[in-house]
Chain A
Amino acid sequence: MKILKKEADDLQLLCFPEEEAEKGDYLLVTDRVKARSLIVQIIDIQYANIPGMLEDLLRDGISEASLSGDEVDPLNVSSQIRILKDTRLLVGKIRGAIENGRVSKDVAWLPSRNTSTVEPMPPRLFFETFSSRHSFEIGSTNRFPHVTPDLAALDGRLNIVTGRKGTGKSHLTKLLVSSLVREGAPVVVFDVNGEYVNLGRSIDGRELHHSPRIISLIPGLNLRFSLAEVGLGTLLGTLTYALQLPENSARVFSRIWRELEEQNQLNMSALAAAIVNADCHESIKDALHARFNTLEDSGIFTDDSHTALSLEDLLRNHSNGCALIVNMKNQHAAMRRIVVELLISKLTDLLATQKLRALFLFAEEAHLYLRETYWDDVVTRMRHLGLFTTFVTNQPDTIQASIYRQADNVFLFNFSNEHDLEVVSKVAKVDADTIRMVVRDLPPRRCLVIGDIVANFPLVVNVRSLEIQTLGATRYFFKDQLAVA
């Protein structure tokens, strides 16, 4: 390869046919005299614009279409012509430099066109500069196996996993969840499609050693709370945000709650009776009654202390790491909102009162159940409390622009739609060109990783396969479709 041109942080290289290069690859452009190297990532591959190419191709086209023939080329000059025709132009972004064996951001110098060498750069060079105590294998690049970033880069961070459907978002999320659990982290997953419940099982159905730490919670079945466990604040929040209880009615509900609390009568049947007998306007009574019925029908509340779940106890009992999979498959929208509202509210309580140190939350298609006010909360208050969220979606425009700008790590799978690319290009940690050019061509299971987890060197990774049961793969009717997938 040869350096052709540099403009700002763009570097163009000529790549000859026998040389391999793919979008996303990292190259090390080393100036031996200066003993420094530029770290360049290929973001686009084009045909080299060689003079006379149009005439050449037109001539070839005419020949191929209307006549056949033979070449007598005893000097074998034509081989050079073929090389030129297939010479490619690599468009690269300068991401950094290496000086004295250390990665630096000093790129204010030009490598020599004559004496510089260009070679593939192994991703381990990025990670070597960081102490990686919680490394996990995310996958490989096209050239190098074993990309092992540090899980700690998810800690205290806001993350996004996005891409169009069928590209491998859930697969990666499962890898992240199981890796966090292995490292002893508490994780909560809002599982819309019930596809994380078998994280503890191998492909052939065997229980894996971390299986006991994968806890599936089904609302109304083993995810049930007592009123006392939930508390007024949490329940009021649920009634207000998930069930749109008007303010006046909320005030009456608070009064009823306190009265029952004083009488030590905080249970569902007493609450129902208190609403019926409440001294208030009939319309308020009706409103409260309707919401109570919804809560009761959800089956999420119980007066039986044996079946009621204590999140605090559950997490304390799994202090060596666990994943609480909140299985919301087949749940209607209101139910999802109630469950999420209750859980987030409860988890924030635990974090605020230091009963829980920190927690990783994975929210699939969060727009289906997360209320508007939570978006800002996620990046401000909850983050400081220790609730670190990873959003997983195939509709990138359902996540607010502010989230993209503040995301610390982004895992981008394929998008070909211009609008989607436009939305995700707002990620602050990388230029829009890289996203547009690289993401558009990503095949399934390959993603562009951006952010702290890759030391801020955007990396195209082939996500490794998992030894666990990955429910959630697209289900096909035609068997040949399955083979294609």
Chain B
Amino acid sequence: MSRHTQQTTTTQQKISNFLLPEGTTPAIPQGFVEFCRDSMRGLQGSQLFVLPTFDPDFETTQFDGADGPILNIDGPNDDHVVMLEAVATERPVVAIDTSTVKLGELDDGILCALRGAVVTLAFKNYRYLRYGPFVFSLGYNAPIASKCLANLGFPPFSGEPNIDSLLKRVRNVLERWLQFSVSSLLTDAFVLIDGSLTAGTPDNPSRELEQILEVARRSGSVMIAISKKTKLRIRNKALTNLLENEPNPCLIDVDTEITEQFPPYPVRFLGRVFVAKLAKAGFPFRIDIDRHIPNTTAVNEFAQLAGTDIVDQGYPETLRMAHILSTFTATDVLAMQAFAEAQFGLEMAPKLSLRHSLFGPFGSRWEAFH
């Protein structure tokens, strides 16, 4: 975590502005900006094969533990359901979300963009801080990719880089940096993130998350991860279906049932896993809360979150806004392609559609019409 340690001073300064009056312009760590710039150097005159459709990555970088085959685990009994009664507080709520998009293919890699958003609710006001877009390239050339990623604190690597995996790592870096910054600066806050508190894969190492949780704990804050989608299933039904017959706010602790199914290494459940419905007639979500928080306190934290933030449809408003603000639209993609062309001398070219070339009008889906 030397990367985070080095950044802490400047980061704290920048994020401390976050809750201060408008007009402040906090900066992103220079290393991240350098990473973007380095990755774009040498692309002058390269062709950028733009994709016929844009495909933003809304998925979370967090691993929910159920990669691979769907788990069917025995579920707890219905009598374990705990009813939630919302408790209003003045505690700040902060939500963090990021998203990535591929802008096109290069001869030896891809051009991508990343954006992060932090939304805070404090003193009954919502404010946001949006980072990016950061445009960068990820290449198949291992030495160059390795050199670029060194700016982000990644150790050198050799062999064929997996572009998708690298993209997840870069996104994870920004996400963790934002989470760390927020956790270290705010006290007694709810820190909401998209996904889960499960870590332990190369793209999502557990060490950083552990440290973030530790920092949050020390500040009296609580980190909660809310997952819109989970592959975990119980009795051949989606995990969230456990509360399908419960109209009122409630939760159920499924932690033991889930964690018992996994070996202790490498995947680590750093959060206690619940299925919770935070609002009446809302949707149930998988919600993870810092494992170090005792079960009864956790229930109380959920009740306070439900009473502090707007939880329309059972989903916290801060997190909803963070998601909306971080996502990319087709306009953003066009603009970033134009930016890459103007700033880095890329030449745009349409991507050859093999399907169209081979099958002409008998191709399928979108490509058949373009």
| Cross-chain contact B36 with A51 (CB below 8 angstroms) | no
| Cross-chain contact A52 with B332 (CB below 8 angstroms) | yes
**Closest residue of B by beta carbon distance from A84:** B335
| Cross-chain contact A80 with B24 (CB below 8 angstroms) | no
Knowing A69-B130, A70-B22 touch, does A77 contact B135 (C-beta < 8 A)?
yes
Segment at the A interface, from B26-34, B76-84, B159-167: B26-34
Query: Measured between C-beta atoms, what is the minimum distance from B249 to chain A in Å?
Result: 23
| Cross-chain contact A74 with B133 (CB below 8 angstroms) | no
**Closest residue of A by beta carbon distance from B18:** A70
7 additional contacts, CB 8 Å, given A69-B22, A72-B27, A74-B27?
Answer: A50-B331, A50-B334, A67-B127, A70-B130, A72-B130, A80-B335, A81-B335
Interface residues of B in 322-347 (CB under 8 A from A): 324-325, 327, 329-336, 338-339, 342-343
User: Which 8 residue pairs of A and B lie closest in terms of their CB atoms, listed nearest first?
Assistant: A52-B330, A69-B128, A52-B329, A51-B330, A67-B126, A80-B335, A52-B331, A81-B335
| Cross-chain contact A75 with B334 (CB below 8 angstroms) | no
Q: Mark B124-159, 1 if CB is under 8 A from A, else 0.
A: 011111111111000000000000000000000000
Knowing A50-B331, A56-B329, A77-B339 touch, does A63 contact B128 (C-beta < 8 A)?
yes
Q: How far is the CA of A454 from the CA of B203 in the complex (A)?
A: 70
| Cross-chain contact B331 with A51 (CB below 8 angstroms) | yes
| Cross-chain contact B325 with A74 (CB below 8 angstroms) | no
Q: How far is the CA of A215 from the CA of B69 in the complex (A)?
A: 101
Contact among B33, B54, B327 for A75, CB-based, below 8 A: B33
A418 at the binding interface (Cβ < 8 Å): no
B251 at the binding interface (Cβ < 8 Å): no
Kindly list chain B residues whose C-beta atoms are within 8 Å of the C-beta of A72: 25-28, 129-132
Knowing A75-B133, A77-B135 touch, does A69 contact B339 (C-beta < 8 A)?
no
Knowing A51-B330, A52-B331 touch, does A70 contact B26 (C-beta < 8 A)?
yes
Best-buried of B134, B327, B332 by chain A (most CB within 10 Å): B332
Query: Measured between C-beta atoms, what is the minimum distance from A53 to chain B in Å?
Result: 5
Kindly list chain A residues whose C-beta atoms are within 8 Å of the C-beta of B319: none
Q: How far is the CA of A53 from the CA of B336 in the complex (A)?
A: 14
Knowing A68-B22, A68-B127, A80-B336 touch, does A75 contact B36 (C-beta < 8 A)?
yes
| Cross-chain contact A83 with B335 (CB below 8 angstroms) | yes
| Cross-chain contact A55 with B133 (CB below 8 angstroms) | no
Interface residues of A in 45-79 (CB under 8 A from B): 50-53, 55-56, 59, 62-63, 66-75, 77-78
Knowing A63-B128, A70-B24, A72-B27 touch, does A77 contact B329 (C-beta < 8 A)?
no
B321 at the binding interface (Cβ < 8 Å): yes
Query: Measured between C-beta atoms, what is the minimum distance from B134 to chain A in Å?
Result: 6
> What number of B residues sit within 8 Å (CB to CB) of A?
39
Kindly list chain A residues whose C-beta atoms are within 8 Å of the C-beta of B27: 72, 74
Q: How far is the CA of A68 from the CA of B36 in the complex (A)?
A: 27
A383 at the binding interface (Cβ < 8 Å): no
| Cross-chain contact B325 with A59 (CB below 8 angstroms) | yes
Contact among B22, B126, B131, B331 for A56, CB-based, below 8 A: B331
Knowing A59-B324, A63-B128, A80-B335 touch, does A74 contact B329 (C-beta < 8 A)?
no
A85 at the binding interface (Cβ < 8 Å): yes
Query: Measured between C-beta atoms, what is the minimum distance from A454 to chain B in Å?
Result: 39
Q: How far is the CA of A73 from the CA of B28 in the complex (A)?
A: 8
B119 at the binding interface (Cβ < 8 Å): yes
**Closest residue of B by beta carbon distance from A72:** B131
**Closest residue of A by beta carbon distance from B321:** A67
| Cross-chain contact A67 with B119 (CB below 8 angstroms) | yes
Q: How far is the CA of A75 from the CA of B342 in the complex (A)?
A: 12
Interface residues of A in 75-108 (CB under 8 A from B): 75, 77-78, 80-81, 83-85
| Cross-chain contact B329 with A55 (CB below 8 angstroms) | yes
Q: How far is the CA of A66 from the CA of B335 in the complex (A)?
A: 26
Query: Measured between C-beta atoms, what is the minimum distance from B250 to chain A in Å?
Result: 28
| Cross-chain contact A53 with B26 (CB below 8 angstroms) | no
Kindly list chain B residues whose C-beta atoms are within 8 Å of the C-beta of A69: 22, 119, 127-130, 325
> What number of A residues sit within 8 Å (CB to CB) of B?
26
Query: Measured between C-beta atoms, what is the minimum distance from A116 to chain B in Å?
Result: 19
Interface residues of B in 1-60 (CB under 8 A from A): 22-28, 33, 36, 54
Contact among A50, A66, A77, A85 for B133, CB-based, below 8 A: A77
Q: Mark A178-210, 1 if CB is under 8 A from B, else 0.
A: 000000000000000000000000000000000
**Closest residue of B by beta carbon distance from A59:** B324
Query: Measured between C-beta atoms, what is the minimum distance from A49 to chain B in Å?
Result: 11
Kindly list chain A residues whose C-beta atoms are within 8 Å of the C-beta of B23: 70
A-B pairs with beta carbons under 8 Å apart, 6 shown: A52-B329, A59-B329, A67-B128, A69-B130, A70-B130, A75-B339
Knowing A70-B25, A84-B338 touch, does A77 contact B132 (C-beta < 8 A)?
yes
Query: Measured between C-beta atoms, what is the minimum distance from A81 to chain B in Å?
Result: 4
Kindly list chain B residues whose C-beta atoms are within 8 Å of the C-beta of A83: 335, 338
| Cross-chain contact A73 with B132 (CB below 8 angstroms) | yes
Q: How far is the CA of A316 from the CA of B182 in the complex (A)?
A: 95
| Cross-chain contact A84 with B334 (CB below 8 angstroms) | yes
Query: Measured between C-beta atoms, what is the minimum distance from B178 to chain A in Å?
Result: 11
Query: Measured between C-beta atoms, what is the minimum distance from B312 to chain A in Å?
Result: 12
Q: How far is the CA of A30 from the CA of B14 in the complex (A)?
A: 51
Q: How far is the CA of A18 from the CA of B265 in the complex (A)?
A: 58
**Closest residue of B by beta carbon distance from A70:** B129
Kindly list chain A residues whose C-beta atoms are within 8 Å of the C-beta of B128: 63, 67-70
| Cross-chain contact A50 with B131 (CB below 8 angstroms) | no
Best-buried of B119, B338, B339 by chain A (most CB within 10 Å): B339
Kindly list chain A residues whose C-beta atoms are within 8 Å of the C-beta of B22: 68-70
Knowing A69-B127, A75-B339 touch, does A81 contact B33 (C-beta < 8 A)?
no
Kindly list chain A residues whose C-beta atoms are within 8 Å of the C-beta of B130: 69-73
Q: How far is the CA of A123 from the CA of B321 in the complex (A)?
A: 52
Kindly list chain A residues whose C-beta atoms are within 8 Å of the C-beta of B24: 70
Kindly list chain A residues whose C-beta atoms are within 8 Å of the C-beta of B334: 50-52, 84
Q: Mark B241-274, 1 if CB is under 8 A from A, else 0.
A: 0000000000000000000000000000000000
Knowing A67-B321, A75-B133 touch, does A80 contact B126 (C-beta < 8 A)?
no
Contact among B119, B126, B129, B336 for A77, CB-based, below 8 A: B336
Q: How far is the CA of A84 from the CA of B23 in the complex (A)?
A: 25
Query: Measured between C-beta atoms, what is the minimum distance from A480 to chain B in Å?
Result: 38
Best-buried of A51, A83, A85 by chain B (most CB within 10 Å): A51
Query: Measured between C-beta atoms, what is the minimum distance from A54 to chain B in Å?
Result: 8
Query: Measured between C-beta atoms, what is the minimum distance from B181 to chain A in Å?
Result: 12
Kindly list chain B residues whose C-beta atoms are within 8 Å of the C-beta of A81: 331-332, 335
Kindly list chain A residues whose C-beta atoms are within 8 Å of the C-beta of B25: 70, 72
**Closest residue of A by beta carbon distance from B118:** A69
Contact among B127, B135, B331 for A84, CB-based, below 8 A: B331
Query: Measured between C-beta atoms, what is the minimum distance from A422 to chain B in Å?
Result: 37
Q: How far is the CA of A68 from the CA of B332 in the complex (A)?
A: 20
Q: How far is the CA of A483 from the CA of B235 in the complex (A)?
A: 79
**Closest residue of B by beta carbon distance from A58:** B324
Kindly list chain B residues whose C-beta atoms are within 8 Å of the C-beta of A74: 27-28, 33
Q: Mark A449-482, 1 if CB is under 8 A from B, else 0.
A: 0000000000000000000000000000000000
Q: How far is the CA of A74 from the CA of B36 in the complex (A)?
A: 10
**Closest residue of A by beta carbon distance from B37:** A75
Q: How far is the CA of A167 from the CA of B131 in the complex (A)?
A: 51
Kindly list chain B residues whose C-beta atoms are within 8 Å of the C-beta of A73: 130-133
Q: How far is the CA of A67 from the CA of B36 in the complex (A)?
A: 29
Kindly list chain B residues whose C-beta atoms are within 8 Å of the C-beta of A67: 119, 125-128, 321
Kindly list chain B residues whose C-beta atoms are within 8 Å of the C-beta of A75: 33, 36, 132-135, 339, 343
